[in-house]
Amino acid sequence: MMMRCKVALLAAGILFSGIASAEVCTTQSQMTSADRDALAAAGRNLATKVQADDVKGLQAATVAEYAKDFSGIGDVVGTTSAKLKGGTIAVEQVYLLDGTQLKKNADGSAPDAQFFCSLNKSVDEADFLIPGLLPGQYGFVIVNVQSASPWQLSFLLRHDQGQWAMAGFYPKALTAAGHDGLWYWTQARAMAARKEHWNAWLYYQQAQALLQPAGFVQSSHLEKLKSEQTAVAPPALSDGINPNTPLVVKGTDGTEYRFIGLGVDDSLSAAKIDVVAHLKVDQIGDAATAKKRNSDAASALLAAYPELRKAFHGVWVFAETSGQNPYATEESMSEIH
């Protein structure tokens, strides 16, 4: 199977409820030069270590509760560093997040926190909705690594013992199939105007993946993107798809294929991105059976929504069932009949 690792989280969880009252955010234009320079220096130092695959150095610069078990992060650093060779490091943005007034929950667990950051005293915002955050002074630093294939390294920092230490690491490519997030956003709008709603919906998804620094970061611009995506969603996707409400597509022989997720992928580095389709099955079966079923499911999906053929390189199908590893295949559009 081939799935690109997009995010390494040191902070626990993505979705949460019962958010604490909003904490204080200071953007780089509002903070003191000393705070701004310290955050930028910390982010640049960490990015340099990632680029050099200096896992031990990063571990030493990480808050204690995450440094003690660093194997998972070390693997991500190794994979990421290979993408950054020869790139130029530049700090893009810094934020100061004051969570010193956060209170632990009654059971002693870390609370959820939200930081609303007004950008240049305008109505635009960058919002941080971070689950399971211990009380403390935090920073968020976005570092771009410019090269033929640019990357972005974002770091959640915590001020510990007089210095900034890493509390979260979020690496990601800034392009997919050679194009950046704004290009996919523009293409999605053009597709929507041509009534290619399936293509548009998926291109909006790719745009968000490239433009969002980390899963807990939102902004006025990202909200606009999401609202546009919602507005163009095909009727079959308007209520979302999941295991309880799958997208059901019939093959030519009447077989029903139940898709429980649709996304995009650039792991093959082809001229166009791929569609990713998650297929719910009762059992995986032997390899030959699973491969044929995946191929038939991809054919049924394209027969139902033929516009996908011109906007994507191919289709990944992940056959999934409880208690078993998924079975994944990828076929180019020319191979799918």
Instruction: Supply the pLDDT for residue 125.
Output: 85
Q: Which residues of 147-186 are buried (b: 16+ CB within 10 A; e: fewer)?
A: eeebbbbbbbbbbeeeebbbbbbbbbbbbbbebebebbbe
Q: What is the mean pLDDT of residues 11-28?
A: 57
User: What is the 8-class DSSP label of residue 105?
Assistant: -
Predicted confidence band at 7 (pLDDT cuts at 50, 70, 90)?
very low
Predicted confidence band at 18 (pLDDT cuts at 50, 70, 90)?
very low
Q: Which residue has the higher pLDDT, 5 or 30?
A: 30
- What is the C-alpha to C-alpha distance for residues 32 and 191, in angstroms, rounded to an integer? 44
Instruction: Supply the pLDDT for residue 3.
Output: 35
Predicted confidence band at 23 (pLDDT cuts at 50, 70, 90)?
confident
Q: Which CATH class is domain 24-173?
A: alpha beta
Query: pLDDT tens across 169-211, in order?
Result: 999 999 999 999 999 999 999 999 999 999 999 999 999 999 9
Name 111's bridge partners: none
Q: What is the mean pLDDT of residues 4-9?
A: 37
Q: What is the mean pLDDT of the chain?
A: 92
Distance of CA 226 to the CA centre of its chain: 14
Query: pLDDT tens across 254-307, in order?
Result: 999 999 999 999 999 999 999 999 999 999 999 999 999 999 999 999 999 999
Per-domain residue ranges of the chain: 24-173, 179-237, 247-335
Instruction: Supply the pLDDT for residue 121.
Output: 60
Instruction: Supply the pLDDT for residue 120.
Output: 66
Instruction: Supply the pLDDT for residue 180.
Output: 98
Q: How many CA atoms lie within 13 A of 130 on its CB side?
A: 29
Query: pLDDT tens across 96-148, in order?
Result: 999 999 999 999 999 999 999 987 665 578 999 999 999 999 999 999 999 98
Q: Write down the pTM of the prediction.
A: 0.90
Q: What is the mean pLDDT of residues 53-58?
A: 97
